[in-house]
Amino acid sequence: MSYTKEEIHQIVLNQKEYFLKGETLPIRFRKQQLKRLKEAILKNEEKICDALYQDLGRCEVEAYFCDVGDVVMEINEYIHGLSRWAKPERHYSGLASFPSFTTKVYKMPYGVSLIISPFNFPILLSLGVLAASIAGGNTAIIKASSKSAACTQAMKEIIAETFPPEYAIVIDGGHDVADFCLEEPVDKIFYTGSPNVGKHVMEIASKNLVPVTLELGGENGNWCIIRKDANLKDAARKIAFFKICNSGQICININQVAVEKSVAKEFIEELKKAIIKQIGEHAHTNEEYPKLITRRAYDKIVEEAEHYKERIVFGGEGDPEKWKYDPTIIYPVDINEPIVNHEIFGPLLPIVEYEDSEIDKLLDTISRREHGLALYLFTKNMKWAKKVMQTQQYGGGCINEVCLHLMVKGVPFNGTGHSGMGAYHGVWGFREFTHPSTVLFGKTHMNLPLREHPYNQKKKKLLSSFLK
C-alpha cells in the first residue's frame, strides 16, 4: 500500500485526538499494552522468523537472538521498571521559594511519536523502540523500511491485530512516505539509520521544532584495536562471529581492525580459522549465512572488494543471485585509504597495521575523525584500556568482547555526533520518550514580599543572603 500525504495527515490527527483523551497516561494502561505487545510477538514468532529469512536470509537461531528475543527482553525490562521510573520525583524547593518547599518533577509523554526504522534489524529497531514509546505514554507511528518488505508486512499485520491505529500503526512506503510523516507536526521523532539521512530528518523536524533522537552508524565506521598482548585466538573468534552476523549489516559492527604490526599476520591466520570453523571457507554456499539486503547492496560490496582485490587474503567470493558475499579480509590497508574512512556496512574487513610505540598516534588519528557508534579493544592491559574508553569519543563499546554491550539491561545505547544523539533501552528509553515537567506547589500563607516591588536596601540584603 502506498500512503498519500492526506492519509498520513489523517493518521497523525487521529493519534493526536486519541492522545488528548488521556487514555495512554495511566501506568496500568501502559503495562497492559506492553504485555499485549509481548504476547503478540511470541504468538507470531514463526511468522517473524520467516520474514527475517525472506528479507535477510537469517537462520532461525540468529533471527531469535538478534531480533525476537532481544525485543522480548526489552519489553520485560519496561514492564518491570515502569512504575518506579514513572514515579514523580520529589524535591526540596529551597529557601528562595519560602514558604513553598515542595517541588515535583513529572515524567510526561510527548504525544504522537514517529519511529523511522531501518532494514538491518527490522523487528528490534521497530518494536523495541515502540516499547519505549508505549512505556513513555505516547502513541506511535512506525515508518518501517521498504527494503525489508516481508518484515514490514508482518509487523503491519501484527500491530493491526494488537492495537487500534489511533494508538499504534505500522506504515510502509518509500522515502516520499517518510517525508510525508516528517513534515507532520508530530511530538517526537526517533530515527535509526545513516548520518546523511539523519541530517535530512533533523532539517525537516526543525521546521516544526520536533525533538529528535538519532541512532546512526557513524561516518567513518567503528574501530577495533588489537594490542600485541591480546589473546589473538579469542579476539579472532569474536570478531569472526560479528562479521558473519547479519552479513556485517550492523550499525555497531567492526568496520576496520587496527592490529599491532608484530602480531598482524598471526591474528589474520587465527581469523581465517575462526571464520572457516563458524561458517565454512565459502560462506556464500552456507544456508545459515545471511544475505545482503538488496542486489544493489551486494554490487556495492563487490565493487569495493574489486578495488582491493590484490590485497584480499581471505574470502572475496559471492553469489549474485542469492546476494551473499563471503566475509572478506583485506590486508594490508593504510589508515588513510577510502575503505577505512566510510561505513562499509557489509562483510568486508580491512586490516590496518600500527606499531606499538605509535599507539597514541593511532588513537589521535581516530579521535580526529567522526565519532563512531562503537569502539572495541583487545588487550590484557586494563589500565590502558580503561583510559582509552574514558578519553575517546564514541557511543559505547567493549574491552575483550564485541557487541554484547547492546544486550546489557539498564544501560544506555547511544551515539554521539555523526553516530547519533540521545539514548535508549530500559530506563533510558523511557526518559527519551518523556519530558520532565517541574511543578512547584505554592503556599497561600506566610508568603514574604521580598521578590515584589518596591525594592529597597533591606530587601536587597535579605534576597542576597537567601540566594547566596
The residues that are catalytic are 215, 251
Contact of 139 with 111, CB cutoff 8 Å? yes
Contact of 14 with 165, CB cutoff 8 Å? yes
The single residue listed with the C-alpha cell 501502559 is 30
Instruction: Round to whole Å and give the CA distance between 316 and 327.
Output: 8
Contact of 441 with 104, CB cutoff 8 Å? yes
395: left (phi over 0), alpha (psi -120 to 50) or beta: alpha
Residue type, 168: A
The DSSP-derived string for 319-361 is ETTTTEE--EEE-S--TTSGGGSS---SSEEEEEEE-GGGHHH
Q: Alpha carbon of 61 to those of 122, 240, 293: distances in Å?
A: 16, 17, 19
Instruction: Round to whole Å and give the CA distance between 423 and 214.
Output: 8
* Distance from the Cα of residue 117 to its chain's centroid: 10
